[in-house]
Structure 1
C-alpha cells in the first residue's frame, strides 16, 4: 500500500494536468490581461506508516485577518531568500507545523494554481519519511490534522457548492472530512491530484 501510493504520485507527476484556478468552475469569469500574480508554494505532505497513507493539513487560526479558520496546506508566498516555490513550501512547513525539510522527500510539483487572492501557487508533493510531532505556529495555525489519502484521492468524495462572492455566484469544490470543511483552493488542488493519481 505504501509503495503503491508513492508510485501513483510519482507517475502522476511525470505527466501532470494543466494549470488550475479558483475560477475553473466559473467559465463566465473574465480575468484581466496582464494581471500580476505573486508566487507562492504549498506543501502537500504525505505520511506513510502502518496506519496507512495520510495527507497532513492545517486549520488556520480563527484570529487571522485573511482566511480565518480555513483548511489549508502548510505554505505561503515565496520570499526573496527562497530559491523557488519548493524552497518556499518547505520553509513555510517548518515554520507553520515544525516539519524538518530534511524529513521530506520531494516527489515533484503539480502545475501552478491561480487563487482569487492573486497568488500563483505551486503545489509541491512531499513524502514525509518519518513520523514527527507537529508544532503549530502560535497565532497562525490552530490545528494540524491528517486525512486518509484514499479519501482525498477518491473523486466521488468531492462535490461542487456555491456562494456569493463580490456580487456573483462562485462555484467551487469541497471534500469534507469529519468536522473539517475542505474547500476552495485546497480542495481544487486535491481534486487536481485525484484526477491523475486517485481512484474514480
Structure 2
C-alpha cells in the first residue's frame, strides 16, 4: 500500500532555500542591522477519506496584528521553548487544541523572513490520529483544511500587488474557496510547493 505521506516526505528530501517577504520586491530590503525575532509555524497534514489535508486558521478579527487573515498555527519563540519544533507544537496546542502527542514531526523547511521582522521556521508534520480542533476564541476565528493537492499545485498560486506605505508591493496568493491565503503564509506554502513539484 502506498504511503499517503510519501509526497510530503519526498518534498522534504529535496533541497529548499530561504524565502522572504522581499522576494518579489527587489526595491525593498530589510533595515540594516535588524535583529530578526525567531518564530515557528506548523504545517500539520492529516490523512482522511479525501486524501491529505493541511490545517489552517483564520485569525480572530479582534486581534491587533493581522486580524482576519489566514495563517498557519504558530508564533514567536518564548523563553521556555527549548527549540523551534517545541515553539510550533506549543502554539498549535494553544491556538487550535492540537495535542503534541498527536503530532509526528517530519522535518522543517528553510526559514522565511517577514517584513515585520520575524524569521519564521516552518515545521512539517503529520497527525497520528483523529483531531477535533478547539480554536482559542481570543486568537482564532476558524480552523479549516485545504487539500494537499491545492498546496502542491503551482497553478494554485499567483502574484498580486497592492499599495503599502505609499508604494506598490507584490505578494503571493493561493486562494481556496472563500479563503484568501496571501502574504507570508502563501509564500511559505509556495516554498513547500516548489519542493513538492519535481
- TM range, normalised to the smaller chain? over 0.9
Q: Pairwise mapping of residues 6-17 of structure 1 onto structure 2 (< 5 A)?
A: 6-17=5-16
1:95-139 per-residue CA deviation (whole Å, 9 max, x = no partner) reads 000001111110000010001111000000010121211000011
Tell me the residue number matched to 2:83: 84
Structure 1, unpaired ranges of 5+ = none
1:132-183 per-residue CA deviation (whole Å, 9 max, x = no partner) reads 1100001110000010110111001101000111112110010000000000
Tell me the residue number matched to 1:114: 113
- Give the drift of 1:31: 2.3
Could you tell me whether the CA contact under 8 Å between 1:48 and 1:129 is conserved in 2? no
TM-score if structure 1 supplies the norm length?
0.95
Tell me the residue number matched to 1:134: 133
Q: Pairwise mapping of residues 45-194 of structure 1 onto structure 2 (< 5 A)?
A: 45-194=44-193
- Find the aligned partners of 1:102 and 1:135 in 2 and give their Cα distance: 16
Could you tell me whether the CA contact under 8 Å between 1:16 and 1:111 is conserved in 2? no
Return closer, same or farther for 1:106/1:2 CA change in 2, 3 Å cut-off: farther
- Find the aligned partners of 1:150 and 1:30 in 2 and give their Cα distance: 33
List structure 1 segments (4+ residues) > 4 angstroms apart after TM superposition: none
- Give the drift of 1:85: 1.1
Say whether 1:3 aligns with 2:3.
yes
1:37-84 per-residue CA deviation (whole Å, 9 max, x = no partner) reads 100000001011222110000000001110000000000000010011
Could you tell me whether the CA contact under 8 Å between 1:44 and 1:73 is conserved in 2? yes
Secondary structure, in 3 states, of the residue corresponding to 1:193?
helix
Secondary structure, in 3 states, of the residue corresponding to 1:3?
coil
Equivalenced residues, count: 198
| CA RMSD, Structure 1 to Structure 2 (Å) | 1.4
Could you tell me whether the CA contact under 8 Å between 2:61 and 2:141 is conserved in 1? yes
Could you tell me whether the CA contact under 8 Å between 2:30 and 2:115 is conserved in 1? no
- Give the drift of 1:2: 6.6
- Find the aligned partners of 1:43 and 1:157 in 2 and give their Cα distance: 20
Return closer, same or farther for 1:92/1:49 CA change in 2, 3 Å cut-off: same
Secondary structure, in 3 states, of the residue corresponding to 2:170?
strand
Q: Pairwise mapping of residues 23-42 of structure 1 onto structure 2 (< 5 A)?
A: 23-42=22-41
Secondary structure, in 3 states, of the residue corresponding to 2:149?
helix
- Find the aligned partners of 1:63 and 1:83 in 2 and give their Cα distance: 30
Secondary structure, in 3 states, of the residue corresponding to 1:43?
strand
Secondary structure, in 3 states, of the residue corresponding to 2:3?
helix
Secondary structure, in 3 states, of the residue corresponding to 1:135?
coil
- Give the drift of 1:17: 1.3
